[in-house]
A = this chain, B = another copy of it.
Amino acid sequence: MNSNLLEHINNPTDLRQLEEAQLPQLAQELRDFIIGVVAVKEGHLGASLGVVELTIAMHYVFETPNDVLIWDVGHQAYGHKILTGRREIFHTNRQLNGISGFPKRSESIYDAFGVGHSSTSISAALGMAIASNLKGDSEKHHIAVIGDASIASGMAFEGLNHAGVTDANLLVILNDNAIGIDPSVGALKKYLTAVKEGKNPKKNNMIKSLNFDYSGPIDGHDIFAVIKELKRLKKVKGPKFLHIITTKGKGLQQAEEDQVKYHAPGKFDASTGEILAKSEENLPPKYQDVFGLTLLDLAKANEKIIGITPAMPSGSSLKFMMEAFPERAFDVGIAEQHAVTLSAGMVTQGMVVFCNIYSTFLQRAYDQVIHDVALQNLPVIFCLDRAGLVGEDGATHHGVFDLAYLRCIPNMIIYSPLNEIDLRNILYTAQLGLNHPIAIRYPRGRGQIVHWERPYEKIEIGTANCLRNGVNIAILSNGTIGNNVTLALAEVDHPENYAHYDFAFVKPLDENLLHFIFSTFEDIITIEDGVIKGGFGTTIVEFAANNGYKSAIKTLGIPDEFLEQGTINELQQYCNIDVKSLTSYLMRFLI
């Protein structure tokens, strides 16, 4: 017996040379390999460990890449990447110029469809399957692997509802581990749980009611059972559905036991599984915790406050309020559209609703923001977490479009706090009662201020602040990127040349201050951590045009391209908005 099978597998063809009896060993090796790399390089752990057997089985049974395989979300595709030619570069996972943390078409022919946001796999695979039918290829297989959290999102339902009336050669595999990033919720999850607990899966089976050939549930870690069933399904034409049960984090005890923490645990000891503790003493807080702890504090005093998250209670730190006030804080699952309109409904009844959605995921509920919230001018409080560059999650997850896509909506207030204190105070201000909906956008990660829990102060809607006076150039920043400006101004020669204004409100604009600035300065620089095209800088450019000001305006921010993964600082460098680039830019500006 070969002592290391994995190192000889450079593609699925190699895999398919193995005897079926060798596959459990390969599964063990693949699991060890994932653990070994992720322990050191960080990344998503639990999801990939849970599908090791399924990954091997699929590439073993199907003729990838001719048969197409789409991983929903893609957190779970590490094993897939390692088996499809990326074993030796897997240590570059999620790094600048390395491989993406998600399947990506430009990276490999085995990545049939790029993913990152949830619930797209069924639609994409169905599109491919219909195309195959039209091309007369009835042998090709089209497989979507989707988790129980993702399948409960509306988009997945739309895909199933269409697929059920086609003759498309589509196999949907439900990877049911009862958890997304946080535990799954909702009625469908309840049904799936009942099935696992012995309920007849055929009774009131939603999948069957959608006209699918349903099979399962089977144990997703029994590789022989999975292979046998996949081989059977390979011969079944039309849309079919396989329900497999897996354990997130399978094979690493701590990861199985604490699935939320081990979703993406950071560095850990590969042999013991122990997470390597980082000292958090005297560090400034995460913006997420500023949100979560402030909301908890406000909710204690204001019983009308409600918190909503679509499937991110841990990531957003809404968990604090959920623990303290479970009846007033809701995880609605991966259902951004529902989350927004649910919030709107609650606000009509006088509730004060904080709807916390990652900036990139609010794209999923854009119509609901316009049609259900802004059009009715309902003061929903949107907390847009992970706005701006998010770092290692890369192109699918950067929250860089929000200023541009929200700014054109009438009635919206848009605010990006400069720091933790401003975030805290705008949360306080919003729950006092606003006349309009507000979007509060703040970044992933830690802020600047260790002692952030100061007495609340009300923020005047639509006011900007002068952070520093100066004589030649006015720098207008929006949000936390303003801290880079402050740091750069500490480095430049002749800082007295530069005035710095914090324009936290992109809408409404502080027009009084802008009139002063444009009357005073001939050179104006705007900076934001969102797309330049249509964002904050554009607001300033529009103001100047509308008012006939002729000052020169330079707009800094994210260029008109999709940015890949990297650390936030690396990506800021790429955009020339990191402290060092800004320092040189500002100094060159005056030469």
Contact = CB atoms under 8 A, between A and B. Distances in A.
B366 A161 contact: no
Given A126-B342, A341-B127, A407 B533 contact: yes
Nearest to A128: B345
A561 B507 CA distance: 13
Interface stretch (A328-336, A427-435, A570-578): A328-336
A9 B203 CA distance: 47
Contact of A161 (B152, B542, B560): B152
A349 B210 contact: no
Interface string A23-59: 0000000000000000000000000000000000000
A445 interface: no
A366 B363 contact: yes
A395 interface: yes
Interface string A151-166: 0111111111111110
A344 interface: yes
Contacts of A185: 162, 165
Contact of A159 (B128, B338, B550): B338
Contacts of A408: 401, 404-405, 531, 533-535, 560
Nearest to A203: B204
Contact of A132 (B113, B124, B347, B349): B349
Nearest to A508: B560
Interface in A122-166: 123-128, 130-132, 134-135, 152-165
A127 B306 CA distance: 11
A370 interface: yes
Contact of A410 (B152, B327, B411, B561): B561
How many copies of this protein are present in the complex? 2
A194 to B, nearest CB: 10
Nearest to A550: B550
A190 interface: yes
B401 A375 contact: no
Contacts of A198: none
A153 B160 contact: no
A521 interface: no
Contact of A154 (B117, B157, B191, B212): B157
Contacts of A202: 204
A396 interface: yes
A378 to B, nearest CB: 9
A116 B371 contact: yes
Interface string A428-457: 000000000000000000000000000000
A372 B338 contact: no
Interface in A334-376: 335, 337-338, 341-351, 361, 363-364, 366-368, 370-372, 374-376
B376 A367 contact: no
Nearest to A308: B127
A562 B345 CA distance: 20
Interface string A388-414: 000000011000010011011111000
A401 B407 CA distance: 10
Given A204-B209, A348-B128, A187 B160 contact: yes
Interface in A188-207: 188, 190-191, 202-206
B120 A371 contact: yes
Given A120-B341, A154-B154, A348-B128, A538 B544 contact: no
A165 B186 contact: yes
21 contacts: A113-B372, A117-B367, A120-B368, A123-B337, A123-B341, A123-B345, A127-B341, A153-B154, A153-B158, A154-B337, A158-B332, A161-B333, A162-B332, A190-B211, A206-B206, A363-B366, A404-B404, A404-B405, A404-B408, A541-B541, A550-B550
Given A113-B376, A162-B186, A204-B206, 5 more contacts: A130-B346, A152-B158, A404-B404, A538-B538, A545-B552
Interface of A: 105, 112-114, 116-117, 120, 123-128, 130-132, 134-135, 152-165, 185-188, 190-191, 202-206, 208-212, 306, 327-328, 330, 332-333, 335, 337-338, 341-351, 361, 363-364, 366-368, 370-372, 374-376, 395-396, 401, 404-405, 407-411, 531, 533-535, 538, 541-542, 544-546, 548, 550, 552-553, 555, 560-562
8 closest Cβ pairs, A-B complex? A154-B154, A127-B345, A164-B187, A158-B338, A363-B367, A131-B349, A404-B408, A123-B341
